[in-house]
Amino acid sequence: MLLNRFENINLKGDIFGGVTTAIISLPLALAFGVASGAGAEAGLWGAIMVGFFAAIFGGSSTLISEPTGPMTVIMTAVLTSMMAKYPETGMAMSFTVVMMAGAFQILLGTLKLGKYVTLMPYSVISGFMSGIGVILIILQLSPLLGHSAPAGGVIGTLSAIPNTLMNVSFSELFLGLLTLVVLFYFPKKYRKFIPAQLVALVAVTLLSVIIFDTDSIRRIGEIPAGLPSLVFPHFNAEMFTTMVIDALVLGTLGCIDTLLTAVIGDSLTRKEHDSDKELRGQGFANMLSGLFGALPGAGATMGTVTNIQVGARSPLSGIVRALVLALVVLVAGGLTEPIPMAVLAGIAVYVGLNILDWSFIQRAHKVSIQSMAIMYGVMFLTVFVDLIAAVGLGVFISNIIIIEQLSKEQARKVKAISDADEGELPLTAHERTMLERANGKVLFFYLSGPMIFSVSKAISRQHSSIDNYQVMILDLTDVPMIDVTVALALENAIKDALEADCEVLLLCPHEQTRARLEKLNALDLITNNQQYQSREQALQAALEYVEEREQMFVVNT
């Protein structure tokens, strides 16, 4: 099974894809490492370890995994809060959270829940990802202006802006803005051959060395050569609940980020990834990454798309990419020493701007006011309140709106009529004639389509005047599925009819619908000779019953 994904190796394309994506990953890994507070080396080793092990054990052939903007934002918050409370053990606790997040991803994949991870309304995903982009931009404001990132996350950064502006380092601001100019205006025709991030990193770094003294601006410094040190898991009883919640957020975000990227990759390669296997691979990769003090990662859209476009067709490209980055760290770590912090801040801001869902932001008001409100609401909550609260509340409200819309649509498919001319029914001309012959004594109770709990009120409303009829035909011929609430509502309708001395005839050919009614004993009230396979049979039986009742009435009077 593990080797199946390597069957379509395109040696030239895979090697070229690996080298190309390594070049793209280098400046991003450095920027994310510095932005997170864990250091540039944590970003680089995160790109190496997550990329390598996810490529080997994942469920997609061409997915490129590495630290991403959204994952970095969460990791930054975790590191900041842990280090603030526990300066000595906070770093170890933070990477323990990464290991726990990886274990959570493995659990999701093992339970085969991968296909459910991305089942969220687009307005929620859009608002959440745009909120992540806003957070990343805000957190880079201080580094862009020549200062270290203040404590307190988004609120702390915004509170410190007046003081930061009063003491701005114009040399670093110049380098940061110049980086952004290169990123935005680098010609598209050249981006096919070399990524704009690498051009900005090298060009602005060289300029900073020529124009400014080494010590006049903040620089990365030399990245230690050699393998990273092990970080042993460290738990704290007081913070354990917080660590679990952080791990769930980090793991869930990694799942969403990865699977959405995998879907994009599928659309380009015309192949289908294995969601559950991908989650297990990502989880294992993140556990190892946390164990070695490296940033967590997920599927990266830009790297994946580039990888496919240059000809990669197997996980070999992800392995080559990781080996190229490892070679850079182990052999050429000293080359990172002169890179200005402001340049990395500029790259991170650019990534944040690209995370913003500009396409949906521009069109949300045209699509739906409700979708727009949910998108901006989730974005606001993501930035200023809490990520879990943002997604949870967004999904809840979206589902309520969807249920309301489905309820209105399904309510139209619940029809109870005694006159064939009252509404549209799937009756033949002969069956309509038979219903007319009943002279309003037969209630034809027709449901169609899947029936969920929200339609139970419509069922109660439609059969409320059951006292006026002698026979009720309950037609479930076109109902492939019902839930428990609807089954109980139908049972109540049958009981009400029988209490009103109204005979009940049932049409229910679908096994799944019948099984649900039988499990709740809802069919115990209806004998076998009152259950029919066709509408004509049921209508004929109803007519005979009405005629029998009329004859008895004549005899008694």
List pLDDT tens digits, range 242-263: 999 999 999 998 998 898 888 8
Q: What's the pLDDT band for 128 if we cut at 50, 70, 90?
A: confident
Q: Please report, for residues 376, 379, 384, the alpha-carbon distance to residue 365 in angstroms, rounded to integers and kept in the order given.
A: 11, 15, 23
**What is the three-class DSSP state of 225?**
coil
Q: Are residues 303 and 196 in the same domain?
A: yes
Q: With respect to residue 454, please indicate whether it lies within any of the assigned structural domains.
A: yes
Q: What's the pLDDT band for 554 if we cut at 50, 70, 90?
A: low
Residue 295 or 188, more confident = 295
The last residue of a domain, from among 340, 368, 390: 340
Q: Are residues 105 and 237 in the same domain?
A: yes
Q: Are residues 416 and 334 in the same domain?
A: no
Q: What's the pLDDT band for 99 if we cut at 50, 70, 90?
A: very high
Instruction: Check pLDDT > 80 for residue 75.
Output: yes
Which pLDDT value is given to residue 401?
Answer: 84
Which pLDDT value is given to residue 290?
Answer: 95
Q: With respect to residue 365, please indicate whether it lies within any of the assigned structural domains.
A: no
Which pLDDT value is given to residue 517?
Answer: 82
Instruction: Check pLDDT > 90 for residue 333.
Output: no
| pTM for the predicted model, two decimal places | 0.77
Q: With respect to residue 313, please indicate whether it lies within any of the assigned structural domains.
A: yes
Instruction: Check pLDDT > 70 for residue 159.
Output: yes
List pLDDT tens digits, range 109-123: 999 988 887 777 888
Tally of domains within the chain: 2
Instruction: Check pLDDT > 70 for residue 2.
Output: no
Q: With respect to residue 360, please indicate whether it lies within any of the assigned structural domains.
A: no
Instruction: Check pLDDT > 60 for residue 557.
Output: no
Neighbours of 176 (CB within 10 A): 28
Q: In angstroms, rounded to a whole number, what is the distance separating the alpha carbons of residues 71 and 94? A: 13
Instruction: Check pLDDT > 80 for residue 43.
Output: yes
Q: Are residues 319 and 435 in the same domain?
A: no
- Which domain does 207 fall in, by range? 10-140+186-340
**Residues in contact with 219: Cβ distance below 8 Å, sequence separation at least 6, in sequence order:** 337, 338, 339, 340, 341
- Which range, 101-115, 412-426, 514-528, is most confident? 101-115
Q: What's the pLDDT band for 494 if we cut at 50, 70, 90?
A: confident
Q: With respect to residue 175, please indicate whether it lies within any of the assigned structural domains.
A: no
Q: Is-contact 49 302, C-beta < 8 A? A: no
Average pLDDT, the chain: 85
Q: What's the pLDDT band for 390 if we cut at 50, 70, 90?
A: confident
Which pLDDT value is given to residue 409?
Answer: 75
Q: With respect to residue 377, please indicate whether it lies within any of the assigned structural domains.
A: no
Which pLDDT value is given to residue 179?
Answer: 92
- Which CATH number goes with the domain that contains 478? 3.30.750.24
Mean pLDDT along residues 86-92: 90
Instruction: Check pLDDT > 60 for residue 347.
Output: yes
Pick the range with the lowest mean pLDDT from 76-85, 317-326, 331-340. 331-340
Q: Are residues 331 and 420 in the same domain?
A: no
User: Which tokens is 130 given?
Assistant: 């745009």
Q: What's the pLDDT band for 395 if we cut at 50, 70, 90?
A: confident
Q: Are residues 62 and 210 in the same domain?
A: yes
Which pLDDT value is given to residue 251?
Answer: 93
Q: What's the pLDDT band for 463 if we cut at 50, 70, 90?
A: low
List pLDDT tens digits, range 181-230: 999 998 988 887 788 888 888 899 999 999 888 778 888 877 777 778 88
Q: In angstroms, rounded to a whole number, what is the distance separating the alpha carbons of residues 168 and 155? A: 19
With tokens 């990886």, the residue in question is 102
Residue 436 or 225, more confident = 436
Q: What's the pLDDT band for 420 if we cut at 50, 70, 90?
A: low
Instruction: Check pLDDT > 60 for residue 533.
Output: yes
Going by the DSSP 8-state scheme, the letter that residue 116 receives in this structure is: H
Which pLDDT value is given to residue 322?
Answer: 94
Q: Are residues 425 and 282 in the same domain?
A: no
Q: Are residues 441 and 529 in the same domain?
A: yes
Q: Which alpha helices (H) appear in 272-357, and where do they start and end?
A: 275-291, 301-309, 316-332, 341-355
Q: With respect to residue 401, please indicate whether it lies within any of the assigned structural domains.
A: no
Q: In angstroms, rounded to a whole number, what is the distance separating the alpha carbons of residues 513 and 515? A: 5
Q: Are residues 329 and 426 in the same domain?
A: no
Q: Please report, for residues 145, 162, 391, the alpha-carbon distance to residue 170 in angstroms, rounded to integers and kept in the order given.
A: 7, 15, 39
The last residue of a domain, from among 340, 373, 396: 340
Q: In angstroms, rounded to a whole number, what is the distance separating the alpha carbons of residues 15 and 10? A: 8
Percent of the chain with pLDDT over 90: 21
Exposed/middle/buried for 222, CB within 10 Å: 0-12, 13-18, 19+?
Answer: middle
Mean pLDDT along residues 463-478: 81
Q: With respect to residue 374, please indicate whether it lies within any of the assigned structural domains.
A: no
Which pLDDT value is given to residue 380?
Answer: 92
What is the DSSP annotation of 484-504? HHHHHHHHHHHHHHHHTT-EE
Residue 447 or 525, more confident = 447
Q: Are residues 243 and 112 in the same domain?
A: yes
Q: What's the pLDDT band for 543 if we cut at 50, 70, 90?
A: confident
Q: What's the pLDDT band for 430 if we cut at 50, 70, 90?
A: confident
Nearest CA to 36 out of 100, 125, 97, 108 is that of: 97
